[in-house]
Amino acid sequence: MNYEEWLTAVTLTDDRYVVLTAENRAAIRNLPEVLGDRFIDTGITEQALIGIATGLALRGRIPIVHGLASFLTLRAYEFIRTDVGMTNLPVKLVGSIPGFLSEGNGPTHQSLEDVALMRSIPNMRVFCPSDEQDMILGLQTILPDPSPWYIRHNPLPSPVNHAPFEIGKAEVIAEGSEVTLLVYGMLFEQALIAYQLLQQQEMSVGLVNVRTIKPIDEETLLKVALQTPWIVTLEDHFLTGGLFSIVAELFVRHRLSCHVLPLALEGRGFHPGSLPDPLYQEEMTAEQMVQKILHTLRRN
């Protein structure tokens, strides 16, 4: 079952759900016909889109709001903070084509600060699924949750069968004693391959799918820091404010010392292109990341 089929089934059974979009229907093409009046397209208006979702939530609805991640989180940022975040209304924001998933669209469409922005909003929770199966597993819990959420939409096929989802709990794929890879979103597949490649080098490697960025699974992250001398954070996001920042904040707060190799985009976007080309360009394919990890670990 894909995202659209799942969303159709869920929204049809509970009329509290309304689906909104600012004319971004790629993931929900067939919903308007099925959902009728509960599908609301506001046109290309991200700010009003958030206001309208807020008004609907005030009336007891649970709005599921679709927009391109970069326009939704950046253009409507103050609306999300002031209307949705401050009032703690159950608005679910689904940002499509985040990170590398914007492929050939170019810099205007590259959402590489959305995690940093959304996690800094009061009450807002953030879910970055590794693939479509992970996304649907998470949404089963997230849609009925009373908090506002930002979800990094991810329609990629799943390379593994995921464990059940719990808010604030990371999915530990493997534990290791030398290095642990922490990853969220579409880079999960590359991280999984990197994990296998490192294992072939006879290393003891851990792999964690972080899933909810906020609330973060402090317990698992702290445990990893005690288990392994090295942590690698992988994210298709700017270095500032994402997973690396979260790990750094957490470890400093708990007076933990650990080597962390952050693999992220540093201060600039990526060269537009069809996947997997941008991964090669930014040296974020599994093979390239393994090279960096081995180089860094051996040098130290």
Partner 1 sequence: MYPSMTSIHPPSGDFSLTYEEIQRLKARSFEVRKYVLQMASRGGCFVGASLSCVDLLVYLYSKFLRISKNSLGDPNRDYFFLSKGHAVPALYGLFAVLGFLDPQRLENHLKPNDFIYWHPNRNIPGIEFHSGSLGHLLPIAVGVALDCKLRGQSNRVVVLLGDGELDEGSNWEACLIAQAYRLDHLILVVDRNGFQANAPTEALIPLDPLEKKFQAFGLSETTIDGHSFIEMERTFYKIPFDPGMPNVVIAETTRGKGVPSLEERVDRWFCKLSGEEVEQFIQELYG
254 by Cβ neighbours in 10 Å (0-12 / 13-18 / 19+) ranks as exposed
Closer residue to partner 1 in complex, CB, 53/191: 53
Each residue 2-21 as x (binds partner 1 by CB under 8 A) or -, in order, gives ----------------x---
Query: 193: which 2 tokens?
Result: 């391959």
162 by Cβ neighbours in 10 Å (0-12 / 13-18 / 19+) ranks as buried
Task: Say which of 5, 23, 33, 46 is annotated catalytic.
Answer: 46
From 64, 68, 73, 83, residue interacting with partner 1 (rule: CB under 8 A): 83
Residues 20-51 as b or e (16 or more Cβ within 10 Å = b): bbbebbebbeebbebbeebbbbbeebbbebbb
Q: Does 88 bind partner 1 (CB under 8 A)?
A: no
From 40, 160, 174, 193, residue interacting with partner 1 (rule: CB under 8 A): 40
Q: Does 64 bind partner 1 (CB under 8 A)?
A: no
CB of 54: closest distance to partner 1 in angstroms? 5
CA angle in degrees (0–180, nearest 5) for 114-243-57? 40
Among candidates 284, 166, 163, which has minimal Cα distance to 233? 284
From 56, 135, 191, 239, residue interacting with partner 1 (rule: CB under 8 A): 56
Number of H helices, E strands in the chain: 12, 12
CB of 123: closest distance to partner 1 in angstroms? 14
> Which residues, numbered 180-209, are part of the site for partner 1 (CB under 8 A)?
none
175 a catalytic residue: no
CB of 75: closest distance to partner 1 in angstroms? 10
From 11, 24, 61, 80, residue interacting with partner 1 (rule: CB under 8 A): 61
211 by Cβ neighbours in 10 Å (0-12 / 13-18 / 19+) ranks as buried
CB of 90: closest distance to partner 1 in angstroms? 13
Which residues contact partner 1 (rule: CB under 8 A)?
18, 37-38, 40, 42-43, 45, 47-61, 78-79, 82-83, 86-87
Which residue numbers are catalytic? 46
